[in-house]
C-alpha cells in the first residue's frame, strides 16, 4: 500500500525517441520486447489523417498503419510534443492511458490494428 501523499508508479518499460520512429516505449509481450507509440493521442493526432489504401496494395492495413506513422513522425507538432513529453518524464512520471488498453489486448494475444 502506498504511503499517504505518495503516488504509486508502475514501471512499464524504457522510452526512446528518434525522428524516424517517434517516441516509443518498450513493453514485454509474451517474453518479447515490443516498441509501441508512447504519446497518448498519437493515433488521433490533430492535422494527421489516416491515408487511403492505394489500389492493388496487398497488405493494405499494414501499409496504412506504417504510412500514418511516417506522416505523424514527420509532423513538427508531434516532434515538439514528443520532446516535451520526454522532458516532463525526466522530472515526473507521465501517464500513458492508451497504452494500458493496448497492452491488455496484446497480453491476451489478440492482433490489434488501429485506424
Backbone CA torsion sign across 53, 59, 65, 68: negative
Count other Cβ atoms within 10 Å, centred on residue 15: 18
Looking at the predicted structure, is the pLDDT value of residue 81 above 80?
A: yes
Looking at the predicted structure, is the pLDDT value of residue 95 above 60?
A: yes
In a 13 Å sphere around the CA of 93, the CA atoms on its Cβ side amount to 12
pLDDT, position 88: 85
The set of long-range contacts for 3-9, using a CB threshold of 8 Å and a minimum separation of 24, is: 7/93, 9/93
Looking at the predicted structure, is the pLDDT value of residue 111 above 50?
A: no
The pLDDT confidence band at residue 102, using thresholds 50, 70 and 90, is low
Q: What is the pLDDT of residues 27-58, one digit of tens each?
A: 777 778 888 888 888 889 999 999 998 898 88
pLDDT, position 86: 86
| Site of grid cell 502506498 | 2
Domain boundaries, given as residue ranges, for the chain: 15-107
| pTM, 2 dp | 0.70
* Burial class of residue 67, CB neighbours in 10 A (0-12, 13-18, 19+): middle
Amino acid at each position: 500500500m502506498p504511503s499517504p501523499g505518495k503516488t504509486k508508479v508502475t514501471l512499464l518499460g524504457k522510452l526512446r525517441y528518434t525522428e524516424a520512429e517517434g517516441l516509443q516505449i518498450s513493453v514485454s509481450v509474451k517474453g518479447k520486447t515490443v516498441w509501441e507509440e508512447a504519446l497518448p493521442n498519437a493515433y488521433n493526432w490533430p492535422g494527421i489523417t489516416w491515408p487511403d489504401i492505394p489500389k492493388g496494395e496487398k497488405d493494405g492495413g499494414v501499409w496504412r498503419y506504417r504510412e500514418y506513422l511516417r506522416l505523424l513522425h514527420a509532423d513538427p507538432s508531434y516532434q515538439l510534443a514528443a520532446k516535451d513529453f520526454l522532458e516532463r518524464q525526466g522530472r515526473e512520471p507521465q501517464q500513458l492511458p492508451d497504452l494500458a488498453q493496448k497492452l491488455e489486448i496484446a497480453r491476451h494475444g489478440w492482433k490489434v490494428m488501429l485506424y
